[in-house]
Amino acid sequence: MNVLWRWVVVVGVVALVAGCQQSQQSAQRSRGTTEGQQIAWVHDFEEGMAKAAEEGKPVMVDFYADWCTWCKKLDADVFSRPDVAQASRDFVAIKVDTDEDPETESKYGVSGLPTVVFLQSDGTEIRRSRGAVPYTVMLDEMAAAKAASGGA
């Protein structure tokens, strides 16, 4: 009898794990996110700025910190969306961890997190967005930054 109960528990755990994996995959499909539809973040500010100058693109800089709950919310609710990822292709997207790079945070006068700063490729600020804004607001900010940068 003891062996039978162990078998039942093992089968139950395997079924539970498989069900969770299937639910996660279904949720990803329903949101439309796939690996090809993610923002291509550069995690080094200078490298990202050099890439922007080389490609002639404006820059979207996400200032964040690992401990910032609202930064995580912005990542989960906004930056994970395929429509936002698609719009990000018009920019060089840079993530700046303010704990790791306080100089860049200070240079751009970031006083709260999350803050997204849109720049020309020469580092001139175009506009900024503060807080964990809804995705519709971020899409509007991205469109306005693109237009202000001279993009179509």
Residue 32 has pLDDT above 50, yes or no: no
Compute the distance between CA of residue 139 and CA of residue 133 in angstroms, rounded to an integer: 10
Judge if 80 and 51 occupy the same domain: yes
Domain that includes residue 41, residue range: 36-148
Judge if 54 and 78 occupy the same domain: yes
Judge if 16 and 53 occupy the same domain: no
Judge if 92 and 141 occupy the same domain: yes
26-45 mean pLDDT: 67
- In the structure encoding, which two tokens stand for residue 91, read together? 């920019």
How many independent structural domains does the chain possess?
A: 2
Judge if 92 and 21 occupy the same domain: no
Judge if 59 and 11 occupy the same domain: no
- In the structure encoding, which two tokens stand for residue 143, read together? 């469109």
pLDDT of residue 34: 46
Asked if 135 contacts 84 with a C-beta cutoff of 8 angstroms, the reply is yes
pLDDT of residue 26: 41
Judge if 52 and 119 occupy the same domain: yes
151 pLDDT band, cuts 50/70/90, is confident
47-64 mean pLDDT: 98
pLDDT of residue 37: 84
Residue (of 140, 129, 147) closest to 74 by Cα position = 129
pLDDT tens, residue by residue, 133-148? 999 999 999 999 999 9
Residue 69 has pLDDT above 80, yes or no: yes
Judge if 40 and 27 occupy the same domain: no
Compute the distance between CA of residue 64 and CA of residue 149 in angstroms, rounded to an integer: 23
Residue 29 has pLDDT above 70, yes or no: no
Compute the distance between CA of residue 57 and CA of residue 13 in angstroms, rounded to an integer: 50
Residue 22 has pLDDT above 50, yes or no: no
The string of DSSP codes covering 58-122 is: -EEEEEE-TT-HHHHHHIIIIITSHHHHHHHTTSEEEEEETTT-HHHHHHTT--SSSEEEEE-TT
Residue 8 has pLDDT above 90, yes or no: no
